[in-house]
Structures are given as structure tokens and as C-alpha cells.
Structure 1
């Protein structure tokens, strides 16, 4: 019996002026693991010195997801075992996020399908982000005892008004038109035109921004615009308690947001808001370093393991958070998550 080698989890190919990077775990919605981060990082580094590459195009295999995030169940098992590979994953992933942010050439991410967590980190920092009718964007980390990391505290803090705060605390999901409205996506191109986009980018006969502008299409109706005033009113506060108090006195939409946040990890909500407010004035490197400190501390606490257990392992959807209330997560506790980890801080070359 012949052994068929497994397909690589990341496919890279050169075509014309373009380097194509494809996340190739369609059955897992192209969720990221450490090996994938290392391959992407190496491919980006190599392309920077290659005069024949003028654009990187990153996408996901299959038609369901660009990238649904990091392999959190894998991280759950690593963390439970006390493995240093838990920290190593975040260390390498965040360095890859920073490479995307500072990448000197054109970088085009095709957000065709589910784009969450780690998929956001691979796209939102790049020069061009293309949404389609299949795009579904979210940063749902507060529901699993984590934070909107991968540079999320930097990127979400820079979205118009307080959209980023709302997304971070509620894990709200946005479709393509809303991603364009929020500035998460720079262009909207129907999925059936993506093959043409790839072809034109590979040929490189016109500047990338011109190619994207030619194929850009109306994204359709946004639901976010109608919510903007409410989002900016309720989520402008600098404490989660003040946001919750504001929502509790609001309309049906506000009360629904209050109910959603009430189910999230109180610690994660406080850390996320602290990260976002620091992220406003932080460089991408400073934001990632703060996030790294938080996730290293999260490994030694309760909520991440409980959140993943409840949502993805046992799937009872009933996490028992500890501390259980926002009041118990005081400033000193939040501050303790921002200390340099025992293994040292995240560093960039």
C-alpha cells in the first residue's frame, strides 16, 4: 500500500510578480498552528529580499474560511500540560503579525469566508484587505477567556469611533459590507472575481491599487452605520462597568449587548478594554508586547481553559468564570497581567 504524504498546511507558489501564500487546512477552517506561522514568516522574509516579487497574496483553501483563528484546542492541551510550546506559539505568531504590519511591498489578504482571531492578525495589518459576500469577521476571544490579540488591540483601537471596543467586548460578527464601512476591509470584490484578481496581480502590468480599484464593487447595505451613534455613545467609557451601566439604561439593542457581555469572561473583558485603550497610542510592537504579556499570564489562570472547555471541548456552553464578576477583577489584578513574563518579553529583530 502506497503512503500518500499529507498536503502541506501552507502552500506557497510564485506566479509572475506575485508570491501566493495559501493556508491549507480547509477542514479546520484554515486554523493556524505554530508550524504554519513559521512557514508564513519565512516566506515573507524571503520575499522581502526578492526583487522579482512585488506583491504577496494571502488566502485560504476551500470556500468557507480565510482563517478561523489559532488552533485554540491545541493551545488548551499545551497549556494544561504546562508546555512551553504554549508561549512559543504566541511568540512566533505575534512576530509574524509584526512582519505583516511592516511588510514593505504590496500585501493583499483575501478575506473570503470566516476571518477570526489569527486570521485577523494575518490580514488587518496588511496594506490591502479584500472582503467578499462570504466574509464573516469577528474577534470572539472574550467568550473563551482570551483577549483580541494578534495586534487586535492596535488595529481595533484605530477603527472609527468605538467600533473596535464593541467588537472586542461582544465578539460581534460583521459581514463584508460592514467590514468595508469599518475600514477592516479596503475593498469589496465578489468571490467569483477573485480568480481574475489573482491573475492580474500575478501579471503585474498595473499597480496593485489600480487593479483593486478596477475590480472593487459596491458592498451593499451596511447594518453598522445605523448602529454607529449607539456604539459610540455606550462604548466610549473607559471601564467595563461604565459601559455595562450605560447599556443597561439603553434600548433593546443596548440591552442585548449588555446580555452578551454579561456572559463573557469578566477578566477577559477588563484585559481587552485595557489593551485597547493602551493600544490607541501604542506602536504595533508595543501592542503585541502587551498582548504577549497578557497571554503568558492567562496560561497560569482559570478562564482560558474553562472557556475553551465549555465552548469547544465539552461544548456545554456554560463556562464558570473565576473571578465571576467584574467587581472582583480590580485594577491590581489587571496590572498583574502586564508584567514581563518569566520567560522574557516578546522581541523583534
Structure 2
């Protein structure tokens, strides 16, 4: 069945290559590139009722290009419609799940004013929204570098499994863009102001921070992934709760420091307080000034990083994260689709890609400073003025809170609300409560301890806890 489906899909794509429509990516040039490529950009296989999608461009860290999307997107749609496919695993060959989109190739198309760029952008965003709204359990194994487009392939899915090898970032501001692929939705919903910090700076985080922030739903040591997959396949089920309970068994507090390469949660304590204090503002200038007033080494590094980024990208990133918190997933994708059309033709995008990937020289942003970007003009240009093209997604499914949110660690708001409802509880009571709910899930104790210490709850002052919970709920 799988072999015949793959044959059919290859036949369809071959026919597309012969079609002269400018809105089809598979032009003659693309077809020639496919014929000369010695390996398929994506691989598929099935084990029982499980389906595997493996990204297969390891020499470029599985950077996503149009050949890859055209290869796997029809397969995902077929699996979603098939009753025989009960769960889908996403993997990457090599040391990355997916390091991002192939922006260098995209820039070359822009330079040639190739109209197929509209087809690429359209197909990518249809695919990202489709993944975010799939009903078949989708399990992303983030066992390596997961950045940019890699986040779009994983973070909006039901199950995102980090390992000690996970390295995550949304680094788009470094190349004159903005965090896309649904980032306006998922970054805006991280605890406190972590999402704003990650989006504006492009800071890279590793496994524990990926788990604790809510980007990943589980942590499982890389060596245990084969056993986890075998167990899940043996279940022969498409029930999300059953799958979650099974992953939790592999993501227990029995995970050792050696299993996690002795990594630890870094966005905690004083650093987290600085993030929430300084990134609470709604203008980039206020955030930069707050970081300067803070004066800590962390704040200085964050400020220096922001000031090196293209000012337009920094301001648009902040604005789209602020807007995203009040938008559903579908509208977030549509907003980003419109933003992409406006950014792709700007100087900063070509300057960023060339300086980062070609010349390795410091970029020359235009405008060059935050003060040169008028906030009203920025909002008018990027958010109030319609883009040249609209997108018609494959379905109208949307949500304001992920239907699978409960599979990640509890949010800070969840924990503070629980404490408010149980004002006599101590830290160990709170930890025990969530450990029982999650069958001893790795990361629970560390998260509760940080929240307890940071909000000064050791004295058990219910009024203060209630006020903090209200403030956190407002911030997120």
C-alpha cells in the first residue's frame, strides 16, 4: 500500500514538473535538480499502524526546501485521511530534525523575480497550518537541531519530544526576517515573557529550557527513543491520552543527569525575573532601556544582541507576538503569510542572508537604529496595509489554546492557580500533586521549585500568591 502510494505521488509530482503554470514550483529547473540529487529529500515507511516521515538532507542539517515539502506534504495528507494510520513520527537523519528553511535558495528566486516564490510560500503555510490542525497523533522527535522551519514542523503538533541533543532557536531576526511558521502563536503563549525574549534575540536554548518553557511536551533520553517508539507502535492506538501516558513513562524523574548530558534549566531564578521585568513592555526602546537599567550580565548580553539585529525585524517581531496572544492559530498563520510577502522584498532580508551565509561580514541594516523606525509607520506598513496575496488554507480549523496543551509541563499560571486553590500547601504538596497527575514526569519538580522560589511562596502567603497568579495570567 505504501509503495503504491509513493509511486502515485511521484507520478503526480512528475506531472507537475511538466506543467507550465508559474504557480507550480516544479519547473524544469527544479526537475533537473531533482534528477541530479542522489537522495530523496524525505523518506517514508510504516511499521504496523505507525507511519514515519524522516527528513533526509543531513548534509545541510535537513534544511527544508520545496522539493522536501512537495515530497512529504501529500503523504501527510494521505495518512491523515487513512484509518490505517494511527500515529505519525517525524524524524530527521543526522544531527538535526530540521535546521530551518533553505533561505539562500529562496533569495536566489527573489533575485530572479521568479513568480514561483508565491507558490512556495503558499504551499509552506498551508502545510504548517495543516500540521497544527491534524487529528492523527503526530509525534515530533526533536533529537537534534530544531530551528526556524523545524519549529513549524514540530512545535504546533500534539507531541514534541526533546532529548539531550535538542538545540532550539527562532533565529529569523539575524537574517532580516521575523519568527514565523506559527511563532506568533506559540511564542506568545510561553510562560511569562520568555517568548518575547526568544523571538527578539533569537537566543539558542537546549533540552531542559525547551521542556521547561513549553516548547517541548516531554524529555526522553535519545538512547531510549527506539524503545519508546516500539512501545507506542505496540499500542496500535490513535488515542492521544494513551500515547501521552506511555511517553510519560519514558519521561520520568528517573532520568539521570548523565542521560541529559548534565544540562539544567537556565531560564529560571534571577534570569527569569529579568526576562519578565524587562520584556514586559510594548516598544523595543522601552525593553532596551529596561535591560540597560537592570545591568546584569544577562541583561547586557540580551541588550547587545537586540541592538545588533535589524531594527525593523525587532519591532515587527515584538508587535506580532503581542498581537498573536489574542489570535487563533489560523489567523496567526495568515498574519505571518502577509508579513512574509512584505519582508521578502526588503533590503534587510537579502542583506541578512548574504552577510550570514555568503560574505560573513557584519550586515548593514536599513534603517540602522531603533529610533529610525517609527512605530506608527511600522504598524501601518506591516500590519494595517493588506499584502498583495491572500492565502486559502486547506481547512478552517483554529484554536486559541492548543487542544494538546495538557501534555506539556503545567504552565506557571496553572501552578499558581493550583496553589491559590490550596493555600495551605507547601512546595512538596504542589510537587506531589503534579507528579501524580503526570506519572512522575521529568521536569515537574524543577519547575515547581523555581516558581516557588521566584515568587517567594515559601512563607505561604496566599494573598501574594493570588496576586502573582493574576499578574502571570495577564502577562501570558
CA gap of 1:9–1:327, structure 2 versus 1, over 3 A, is same
Q: Distance in 1 between matches of 2:267 and 2:118?
A: 36
Identify unmatched segments of 5+ residues in structure 1. Answer: none
What's the offset of the Cα at 1:285?
1.3
SS at match of 1:249: helix
Task: Give the corresponding residue for 2:392.
Answer: 347
Q: Distance in 2 between matches of 1:323 and 1:113?
A: 35
SS at match of 1:348: coil
Q: Distance in 1 between matches of 2:134 and 2:71?
A: 16
Moved more, 86-95 or 70-79: 86-95
Q: CA offsets per residue over residues 307-335 of structure 1, 9 Å max, x none?
A: 0111111112x000001111221121332
CA gap of 1:324–1:4, structure 2 versus 1, over 3 A, is closer
Residue of structure 1 aligned with 2:322, choices 230, 254, 277:
277
Identify unmatched segments of 5+ residues in structure 2. Answer: 1-34, 395-476
Aligned 8 A contact 2:173 2:201 in 1? yes
Q: Distance in 2 between matches of 1:198 and 1:12?
A: 16
What's the offset of the Cα at 1:272?
0.7
Task: Give the corresponding residue for 2:466.
Answer: none
Normalized against structure 1, the TM-score is what? 0.95
Normalized against structure 2, the TM-score is what? 0.70
What's the offset of the Cα at 1:39?
2.7
Aligned 8 A contact 2:41 2:71 in 1? no
Task: Give the corresponding residue for 1:175.
Answer: 206
Q: Distance in 2 between matches of 1:96 and 1:264?
A: 29
> Which aligned segments of 4 or more residues in structure 1 are displaced greater than 3 angstroms?
217-220
Instruction: Determine which structure has the larger helix proportion and give its number.
Output: 2
Q: Distance in 2 between matches of 1:282 and 1:112?
A: 30
Task: Give the corresponding residue for 1:40.
Answer: 72
How many residue pairs end up in the alignment? 344
Q: CA offsets per residue over residues 120-150 of structure 1, 9 Å max, x none?
A: 0000000000000010000011110011000
Task: Give the corresponding residue for 2:469.
Answer: none
Aligned 8 A contact 2:185 2:321 in 1? yes
Aligned 8 A contact 2:188 2:195 in 1? yes
Indicate yes or no: 2:175 matched with 1:140. no
Task: Give the corresponding residue for 2:367.
Answer: 323
Task: Give the corresponding residue for 2:86.
Answer: 54
What's the offset of the Cα at 1:205?
4.6
SS at match of 1:13: strand
Indicate yes or no: 2:125 matched with 1:124. no
Q: CA offsets per residue over residues 268-307 of structure 1, 9 Å max, x none?
A: 0011111111110111111111111111011221000000
Structure number with bigger Rg: 2
Aligned 8 A contact 1:17 1:201 in 2? no
Task: Give the corresponding residue for 2:401.
Answer: none
RMSD: 1.6
Residue of structure 2 aligned with 1:301, choices 343, 346, 351:
346
